[in-house]
Structure 1
Amino acid sequence: MTQSIYGLTVDYLNDHGHFMVLSSAHGLQQNELSDFQLNMLAANRIPHLLELQLEAKEGDVQLYYRITGKRMLAHFLRMEKLTMHRYFSLLHRIVEVLCDSKVYMLLPDRYILKEEFIYCGSGLEDLHLTYVPKEQLEGKEALSSDLQQLASKWIHRVTELHGTGYQELMNCLFEENFNLPELKQLLLKHMRLTSSSAAQPPAALSDPHPRDEPREWTSIGTAPPAAREKPAIALDRHAADSVRNDAADLLRIETGFSASAVPGAPISSESIPDSHERAVKDIGRKRLLLVLMAVLVVCFIWKWYAESMETSLLYGCAAATAAVGAATVLLLRKTRPKQPQVRAEEPVYDIPEQGDSRFFNEIGLSDPAEPEAFVPPKEPPAEMHTTLLQRNDATVFLGKTAQALETAQIPYLEYSNNGAYEKVPLDKSSFVIGRAGDGTDWVQEEAGVSRMHAEIVKEDAGYGIKDLGSKNGTLLNGEILVPYRVHPLKEGDIVKIVTKELVFKMGL
């Protein structure tokens, strides 16, 4: 199973290191490559580019990219979720590499901006891109189209959406006069915005849809490059409610009207204005001042008694203290803050139209109606009767039944579990085996299994398996697999991951 891109064949090799090899089916000739770019790559160790080596065999040139110790970005993103800040940071890292390539006289449109050709070292911040020093790449789209596809694909990995950054990003990518420096500044701006709001992102604009549900985004990422239409992204219902609430608060502050004066603004406990909280604080300060004054008055009363120490004055001071306490309690009750009145949404009743008698029948105001006379169903004419034209024991063909559909071939992996054989159906075109966690379709809890260990893929030529750069490797019929190379699977092949043996079967 060979992979190809832009007229180049992709293969992987383990020989004193792990390499991705690009070649051509008809033979890549030296004159198809740019000598100036080759010399520039050989003379400089360019940051964030995969190290490139050339090898010529019988006149054909092969490009060797060292990927030792690196992992594909596609598999890294499958394990990790993105925040809006990391989303913009990831795109900024790629755009920064494209902008810096001009310093080394490299062309930005010679990069392969696909997840399978971008590798991570220590993390998402350590990216390494694939540069092809070829004069022309067959079938390659414009640079803005490649970035559009990456941006629209990665937005589905974001855990929480807020703000208008994605819409501004796509507007910039769809501009006719697209340029990288402008895009870089836009990404820097939204990196600062999302970094400051990362602690408390706005809940009103958060993504209401789980990851396994379809998102209400327009398919701007898949629009043809020739269209160059600016995307129109509609706010969802939660964002619209938030905008209406903000408009209602602004109108109430400026004019003094309540939020109910704004059409469509919901009246709920969440829309209580901040002025109520300020009023509560003011009343609290007044109540505290009242209590302190009462205590001061009581102190003066008993100071007066302490100066004379007369028995008749004792009862007067006690009565005065009681009066001050009663007056204080009464004033505290009068200054108690009022609770805001929260009006629930009024129910909507289904009012029957004029002439509809069901409503009056239910309340008992309709006239008793005559019961309808029973009309027997008419028998169909003789020519409509079904006639049996075969024997009762004859076989009738019913086409593809449900039972036949259930027995359709579904490939699976079979393994032994304490003497009993169990099956793992391969019901996805990309089936990943690994440890417990996000991104895996079948979990193998065993020491030595990588988080994403191996992947079984379905292609036009059939099923294949590839190791995902695991530390302990994957065996196929006793032979170690080259990481990322797709090896074809056939009936009865044995896949071994650490100590577990899985037998590939073509159907249930």
Structure 2
Amino acid sequence: MLLDELQVDFAMKRGHEMIVDLKSGMKREQLDGIEIQMLQGQRIPKHLPVEWIDIDGEITFRYPLGGKRMLMHRLQTQRMTMFDFYTLLLAVVEALDDCRHYMLRAECFLLHEQYIFIGENWDEAMLAYVPLSGKEVVTSAGEAVLAMAIRWVAAIEEPDGVGLQQVFQHLHAERAAWERLRQTLLALIGASTSGLQRNAVQSTKNKETVEGSHFAASREPKLEKAAFDSPPARANNVFESQPADSPWISASGRDRKEKAEEVDLPFDELPEKRPSSTMGWIVGAGWVLFAAVVWRFIYLGSPSQSKLLLCAGLSLMAGAAALIALRRIRGASESEEEEEDKRWSAEDAFVPNSLVLGADAAMAHPFQRTNAAAAIRVAVPIPLGSEARQAAPVSSPPVKPIVYHSSAANDATVMLGDAAKASQADERQHPWLERQSEGRAERIALERLQFMIGRSSEGTNYTDQASGISRAHLELSGSEGGWSVKDMGSRNGSTLNGSAMIPYKSYALGDSDKLQLAGEQGPIYVFRAG
């Protein structure tokens, strides 16, 4: 694949531009004359405009970026919906499908997130084309797009398994049919738009319903205070002597009693709800079974790179769908429990007191029935009316304090000073940043080899809320050769030791190098090599 042999750099001499060359050098005779004429003669949609500089027979391609941002950094800091995913993929597919009208080849595009640049909207993606004669930048355009689509799934908030399956089926073919995939994406975008409209209408109706219910509830007569002044007498079964709407019966108890009467079962024999953990096991087992079937019948039958990518994508898609389903099940269960707890606290007319134990509990209140031998902890109902103010406090035995004695094995004294010094010495061995702003300094450990600084809390490793900081502003990269830094196309730019940094261009970092973000008033980061 020629993509690995390319050398990519960035410059600001004639505006922000990307420079592409071969590591071994590119000669004039390696260019395709027909494609050169096509690129020179007209502006092709979804293509980055290309210029080439000929210096003594050595060719370099230059692509003006015009304020666009690298797609890879956009995906790192911004989540997308399925509509955004379809829109972005459609922009790439349109460029590949329309290139045949200009006698260009789909395999000569730089099909990677590092070489695709995008505007404010997801459909403003622009691709770079390299007009080399008799060579292909990627082995298969379909496999390259499939690999990108699989990586993009990680940035989707709620993946749609059905839509992704349709997309991957087109890309899995030996030769991708861009026209059919284009029509499929247009249909999926139309369906997503209709779904968004339906959700908006439904949310409006739900809001009106909630407001109407609140209005109706405010007009309902409230329960008289006298109903809570004294608790009713207790029979053998509290539900036999109390009406269904009694405030002394909890909401969960009424629900179970009503369900028991509907199915003609005793109240005590009505089964409880199945816990959500069982559904979690079922969802997990289903995902494992699905993944096993996919790998067994698609990949193991005739292994290939495209089938490997397809199986990986389907497994990832199924895993995401399983996680979403499990979260919804747990969310529904938790919401039901919260609602039940709210109704319990609102409708139960007693205050729990857990200080009474054993035989004292049997004598605490005439309406309480306890087992003194078992010393069961009980809750004593206290009237909420005028009697509550006259109720005598419940006496309880004094609680003896518990004194913990340290054993002889714990009497040894640890030299904390030596441990702290050893810890500080170990920290100094690792690179770190010193952030300076408004007369204050902060130490930031470089815990990862890819460390991103920006305003966004998603996708970045350090969030900087200073004025002028972009969502993804600066990225530091570590390797065996040392550390490097690059500005990620920030709006207000960055400087390295006082010199402006070219967006997306990598700069080597040395000890005590100063990075300043967002102008002269922005924060300063001093690199410490350790």
CA contact (8 A) 2:435 2:442 kept: yes
- From 168, 171, 192, give the equivalent of 2:169: 171
What is the aligned partner in structure 2 of residue 87 from structure 1?
85
Q: Relative to structure 1, is the Cα distance of residues 239 and 423 closer, same or farther in structure 2, using a 3 angstrom cutoff?
A: closer
1:40-79 deviations in Å (ceiling 9; x for gaps): 1000111111111111112101101001211111122223
Q: Is 1:501 equivalent to 2:521 in the alignment? A: no
Q: Is 1:111 equivalent to 2:134 in the alignment? A: no
SS at match of 1:184: helix
Residue 176 of structure 1: how far off its partner (Å): 2.8
Residue 135 of structure 1: how far off its partner (Å): 2.3
1:403-423 deviations in Å (ceiling 9; x for gaps): 699658331111335655321
What is the aligned partner in structure 1 of residue 21 from structure 2?
23
Amino acid across the alignment from 1:236: A
What is the aligned partner in structure 2 of residue 492 from structure 1?
512
Hey, what's the Cα distance between the residues in 2 that align with 1:424 and 1:78? 21
Q: Relative to structure 1, is the Cα distance of residues 425 and 404 closer, same or farther in structure 2, using a 3 angstrom cutoff?
A: closer
CA contact (8 A) 1:433 1:455 kept: yes
Q: Relative to structure 1, is the Cα distance of residues 164 and 103 closer, same or farther in structure 2, using a 3 angstrom cutoff?
A: same
What is the aligned partner in structure 2 of residue 277 from structure 1?
none
What is the aligned partner in structure 2 of residue 135 from structure 1?
133
Q: What RMSD, in angstroms, separates the aligned Cα atoms of the two structures?
A: 3.6
SS at match of 2:52: strand
Q: Relative to structure 1, is the Cα distance of residues 170 and 139 closer, same or farther in structure 2, using a 3 angstrom cutoff?
A: same
What is the aligned partner in structure 2 of residue 336 from structure 1?
none
CA contact (8 A) 1:6 1:137 kept: no
Residue 198 of structure 1: how far off its partner (Å): 2.7
- From 464, 469, 484, give the equivalent of 2:489: 469
Hey, what's the Cα distance between the residues in 2 that align with 1:18 and 1:241? 45
Residue 187 of structure 1: how far off its partner (Å): 1.7
Hey, what's the Cα distance between the residues in 2 that align with 1:417 and 1:114? 37
CA contact (8 A) 1:32 1:134 kept: yes
Q: Is 1:236 equivalent to 2:322 in the alignment? A: yes
Hey, what's the Cα distance between the residues in 2 that align with 1:456 and 1:8? 22
CA contact (8 A) 1:494 1:502 kept: yes
Hey, what's the Cα distance between the residues in 2 that align with 1:46 and 1:237? 42
Paired residues in the alignment total: 339
CA contact (8 A) 1:6 1:140 kept: no
Q: What runs of 5+ residues in structure 2 fail to find an aligned partner? A: 203-279, 281-286, 337-421
1:461-499 deviations in Å (ceiling 9; x for gaps): 221111122232211111111111000111111111133
SS at match of 1:198: helix
Superposed counterparts of 1:300-319, under 5 Å: none
Residue 197 of structure 1: how far off its partner (Å): 1.9
Superposed counterparts of 1:63-212, under 5 Å: 63-137=61-135, 140-199=138-197
Q: Relative to structure 1, is the Cα distance of residues 176 and 489 closer, same or farther in structure 2, using a 3 angstrom cutoff?
A: same
Superposed counterparts of 1:380-395, under 5 Å: none
SS at match of 1:115: coil
Hey, what's the Cα distance between the residues in 2 that align with 1:108 and 1:475? 38
Residue 238 of structure 1: how far off its partner (Å): 7.2
What is the aligned partner in structure 2 of residue 480 from structure 1?
500
- From 6, 9, 33, give the equivalent of 1:8: 6
Q: Is 1:452 equivalent to 2:472 in the alignment? A: yes
Hey, what's the Cα distance between the residues in 2 that align with 1:130 and 1:218? 36
Q: Is 1:442 equivalent to 2:467 in the alignment? A: no
Q: Relative to structure 1, is the Cα distance of residues 114 and 166 closer, same or farther in structure 2, using a 3 angstrom cutoff?
A: same
Hey, what's the Cα distance between the residues in 1 that align with 2:441 and 2:176? 58
1:250-286 deviations in Å (ceiling 9; x for gaps): xxxxxxxxxxxxxxxx9xx9xxxxxxxxxxxxxxxxx
Hey, what's the Cα distance between the residues in 1 that align with 2:491 and 2:323? 47
Further displaced range: 471-480 or 59-68: 471-480
- From 430, 439, 444, give the equivalent of 1:410: 430
Compute the TM-score of the two structures, normalised by the length of structure 2: 0.57
SS at match of 2:486: strand
Name the one with the larger helix percent.
Answer: 2
Residue 165 of structure 1: how far off its partner (Å): 1.2
What is the aligned partner in structure 2 of residue 288 from structure 1?
none
CA contact (8 A) 2:435 2:525 kept: yes
Hey, what's the Cα distance between the residues in 2 that align with 1:237 and 1:122? 30
Superposed counterparts of 1:24-43, under 5 Å: 24-43=22-41
Hey, what's the Cα distance between the residues in 2 that align with 1:239 and 1:31? 57
Amino acid across the alignment from 2:173: E
Residue 163 of structure 1: how far off its partner (Å): 4.4
Q: Relative to structure 1, is the Cα distance of residues 90 and 405 closer, same or farther in structure 2, using a 3 angstrom cutoff?
A: farther
- From 37, 58, 61, give the equivalent of 1:60: 58
Hey, what's the Cα distance between the residues in 1 that align with 2:326 and 2:15? 55
Q: Is 1:426 equivalent to 2:446 in the alignment? A: yes
Q: What runs of 5+ residues in structure 1 fail to find an aligned partner? A: 203-207, 209-214, 243-265, 270-401
Further displaced range: 35-44 or 411-420: 411-420
Amino acid across the alignment from 1:32: Q
Residue 122 of structure 1: how far off its partner (Å): 3.3
Q: Relative to structure 1, is the Cα distance of residues 495 and 177 closer, same or farther in structure 2, using a 3 angstrom cutoff?
A: closer
Q: Relative to structure 1, is the Cα distance of residues 65 and 82 closer, same or farther in structure 2, using a 3 angstrom cutoff?
A: same
SS at match of 2:189: helix
Hey, what's the Cα distance between the residues in 1 that align with 2:180 and 2:439? 64
1:307-327 deviations in Å (ceiling 9; x for gaps): xxxxxxxxxxxxxxxxxxxxx
Compute the TM-score of the two structures, normalised by the length of structure 1: 0.60
Superposed counterparts of 1:325-344, under 5 Å: none
Hey, what's the Cα distance between the residues in 2 that align with 1:172 and 1:496? 47
CA contact (8 A) 2:486 2:507 kept: yes
Q: Relative to structure 1, is the Cα distance of residues 199 and 409 closer, same or farther in structure 2, using a 3 angstrom cutoff?
A: farther
Amino acid across the alignment from 2:498: G
Hey, what's the Cα distance between the residues in 2 that align with 1:438 and 1:240? 23
Amino acid across the alignment from 2:307: R
Superposed counterparts of 1:265-284, under 5 Å: none
Hey, what's the Cα distance between the residues in 2 that align with 1:65 and 1:176? 31
Hey, what's the Cα distance between the residues in 2 that align with 1:503 and 1:237? 41
Hey, what's the Cα distance between the residues in 1 that align with 2:52 and 2:176? 34
CA contact (8 A) 1:435 1:452 kept: yes
Hey, what's the Cα distance between the residues in 1 that align with 2:16 and 2:437? 35
SS at match of 2:74: helix
